[in-house]
Amino acid sequence: MGEHFKTDTDQLAQFLRTLEGCVSDLNEARAALAHVRADQIGTKRLDEACDGFQERWKYGSEQTQKMIEGVSEGVKSNKKGYEEVEEALEKAFADMAKQSTSGGGGGAK
């Protein structure tokens, strides 16, 4: 079963960078839109619609950012766990190899 399960921690690190880039892109887009005021666009009705959109966009992007940060924390935690398991396995295999070459097999005396 283990031969079908593989985790690439480098891929997890790349995924984290992608998520962090998404947060950065959302913040940049919101900052760019913040400079556009509705009263610069046109009619009162259009101005009100733009103001409403700005508020919804701000709320939505903040919620999306929170979700992305939550996913990022989960991925970081999983990545750390996989790395710890890999390190423990490497150590265990190294210890077993050391024991088998040093004659410390624990045979009967």
Map residue 5 onto helix, strand or coil: coil
* pLDDT score of 103 more than 70: no
Mean pLDDT for 21-33 is 80
pLDDT at 72: 87
d(CA 8, CA 97): 25
Count Cβ atoms below 10 Å from residue 41 Cβ, excluding itself.
Answer: 12
CB 78 within 8 A of CB 12: yes
What percent of the chain is predicted at pLDDT more than 70? 81
Domain ranges of the chain: 37-71
Kindly state the average pLDDT of the residues 47-60: 80
Give the tens place of pLDDT for each residue, 57-98. 888 888 888 888 888 898 889 989 989 998 999 999 999 989
12 vs 4, 72, 80, 83, 87, CA distance in Å?
A: 18, 10, 10, 11, 17
Q: State whether residue 104 is helix, strand or coil.
A: coil
Tens-digit pLDDT profile for residues 14-25: 888 888 888 888
At 1, the pLDDT band (50, 70, 90 cuts) reads very low
The pTM of this model reads 0.58
Residue 42, φ and ψ in degrees, nearest 5: 170, -125
Quote the DSSP letter at residue 1.
-
10 pLDDT exceeds 90? Answer: no
